[in-house]
């Protein structure tokens, strides 16, 4: 698969959709778009984006433990042959940070990597972050 690939941390897809995301998508002329920090389930994504005329496929991985947290989405002009949202660990999968799409001869990983700081702005999530990185690299 040849094409133009773009990625954007939207920091909330519903808000971003009201602030020019559709215009940006038109200008980007991308074949595959990876969005991170979508903070929404598929049915919560604005219909104009879900039914965007440029894309035939939209896959979403969202957090299962907390609504409106993290999440990634992948839009593509050609539907992938396979999509996986699992790293094989509930600890990681529950945060909805990973999406792997298999196209003809190409794997596309859309990943929202966690930061290492915890709720108290300490480094308490550094071990989680490093384990997540290892799991992603082992998976791909």
pLDDT for residue 119: 85
d(CA 71, CA 95): 7
pLDDT for residue 25: 93
Q: How many CB atoms lie within 10 A of CB 108?
A: 19
Domains of the chain listed by start with CATH number: 5-113 (3.60.10.10)
pLDDT digits (tens, 9 = 90+) for 25-34: 999 999 999 9
**Predicted structure pTM score:** 0.94
pLDDT for residue 2: 78
Token look-up 């969005």 returns: 35
Closest alpha carbon to 4 in 34, 36, 38: 34
Q: Assess whether pLDDT exceeds 90 at residue 59.
A: yes
């Amino acid at each position: 698969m040849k094409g133009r690939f773009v990625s954007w941390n939207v920091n909330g897809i519903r808000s971003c959709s009201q602030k020019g995301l559709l215009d940006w998508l038109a200008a980007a002329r991308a074949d595959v778009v990876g969005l991170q920090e979508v903070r929404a389930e598929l049915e919560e994504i604005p219909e104009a984006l879900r039914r965007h005329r440029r894309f035939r496929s939209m896959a979403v991985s969202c957090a299962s433990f907390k609504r409106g947290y993290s999440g990634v989405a992948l839009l593509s002009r050609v539907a992938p042959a396979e999509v996986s949202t699992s790293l094989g660990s509930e600890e990681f999968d529950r945060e909805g940070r990973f999406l792997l799409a298999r196209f003809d001869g190409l794997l596309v990983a859309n990943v929202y990597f966690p930061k290492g700081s915890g709720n108290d702005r300490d480094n308490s999530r550094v071990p989680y972050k490093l384990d997540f990185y290892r799991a992603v690299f082992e998976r791909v």
